[in-house]
């Protein structure tokens, strides 16, 4: 009987915290074959409204959530998304809630997206504070936050997880001013690249992110100033 109630409790918790992604409005479709899905933080005249996606419930698995959003957005040919804020009772917009939000789906001609500035974005994916350094300057990234750093042409940026077995990378601003995106994770075990059955401990890792997914994280994570 105890095991039965335990199973019911676990199922209830999973149900309560499940995240659902709905394509709740379709105005029109686009036949474009664009593979990307970029974020717009402000309206542009060239954006064509296609529909809306509603996300209900919270999940720590940001990759899985974005995968669902991407799949539904591509069903109607969207290549851009934009947050549709909920109106507050006393006017204005409610604060963003990662457990419930609506995204407007849009089609934008590829040459009409805002130009990138060549910024460095670092996202904290661990569930506890993560210490990093950029050019020997220390920062503390809280869970589900990100740091945006403008890069200067010709300068080398050394990013480190500040731990003995952690990762360190060196980055330069690209000639095309493309933004660059990386995820900072905490300690993990990894298999040997030699396939010899050994395990290697990393006390912090830095992994490059694809632009579409990174721009989604910049919406649902909080920027650290």
Domains annotated on the chain, with CATH: 2-112 (no CATH), 119-223 (2.60.40)
Q: What pLDDT band is residue 178 in, cutting at 50, 70 and 90?
A: very high
The mean predicted confidence, pLDDT, of the chain is 86
Per-residue model confidence as pLDDT tens digits over 105-162: 999 999 999 999 999 999 998 888 988 999 999 999 999 999 999 999 999 999 998 7
Question: From CA 186, how far away is CA 202, in angstroms rounded?
Answer: 8
What was the pLDDT predicted at 122? 97
What was the pLDDT predicted at 6? 42
Contact 18, 68 (CB under 8 A): no
Per-residue model confidence as pLDDT tens digits over 40-79: 999 999 999 999 999 999 999 999 999 999 999 999 999 9
Contact 205, 146 (CB under 8 A): no
Give DSSP secondary structure letters for 30-60. --------EE-SS--TT-EEEEEEEEES--S
Q: Closest Cα to residue 62, out of 130, 124, 155, 139? A: 124
**Given CA atoms 83, 84, 88, 90 in this order, what sign does their dihedral have?**
positive
Q: Is the pLDDT of residue 193 over 50?
A: no
Q: Is the pLDDT of residue 165 over 70?
A: no
What was the pLDDT predicted at 188? 54
Q: What pLDDT band is residue 164 in, cutting at 50, 70 and 90?
A: low
Q: Residue 61, SS3?
A: coil
Q: Is the pLDDT of residue 199 over 60?
A: no
Question: From CA 27, how far away is CA 16, in angstroms rounded?
Answer: 31
Main-chain phi, psi angles of 221, to 5 degrees: -95, 165
More confident residue, 201 or 91: 91
Main-chain phi, psi angles of 141, to 5 degrees: -100, 120
Q: What pLDDT band is residue 28 in, cutting at 50, 70 and 90?
A: very high
Question: From CA 111, how far away is CA 118, in angstroms rounded?
Answer: 17
Q: Which two tokens stand for residue 106?
A: 């849009």
Q: Which two tokens stand for residue 85?
A: 């804020």
What was the pLDDT predicted at 20? 94
Which of the 8 DSSP states describes residue 178?
Answer: -
């Amino acid at each position: 009987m105890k095991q039965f109630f335990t199973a019911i409790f676990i199922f209830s918790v999973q149900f309560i915290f499940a995240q659902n992604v709905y394509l709740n409005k379709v105005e029109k479709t686009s036949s474009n074959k664009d593979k990307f899905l970029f974020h717009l933080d402000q309206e542009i005249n060239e954006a064509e409204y296609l529909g809306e996606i509603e996300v209900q419930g919270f999940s720590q698995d940001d990759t899985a959530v974005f995968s669902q959003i991407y799949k539904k957005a591509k069903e109607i040919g969207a290549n851009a998304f934009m947050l549709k804020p909920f109106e507050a009772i006393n006017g204005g917009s409610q604060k963003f809630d990662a457990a419930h939000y609506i995204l407007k789906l849009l089609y934008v001609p590829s040459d009409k997206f805002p130009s990138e500035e060549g910024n460095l974005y670092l996202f904290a994916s661990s569930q506890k504070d993560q210490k990093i350094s950029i050019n020997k300057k220390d920062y503390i990234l809280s869970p589900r936050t990100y740091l945006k750093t403008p890069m200067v042409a010709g300068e080398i940026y050394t990013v480190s997880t500040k731990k003995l077995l952690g990762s360190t990378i060196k980055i330069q601003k690209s000639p095309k001013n493309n933004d660059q995106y990386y995820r900072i994770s905490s300690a993990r075990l990894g298999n040997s690249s030699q396939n010899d059955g050994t395990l290697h401990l990393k006390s912090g890792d830095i992994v490059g992110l694809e632009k579409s997914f990174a721009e989604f994280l910049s919406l649902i994570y909080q920027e650290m100033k």
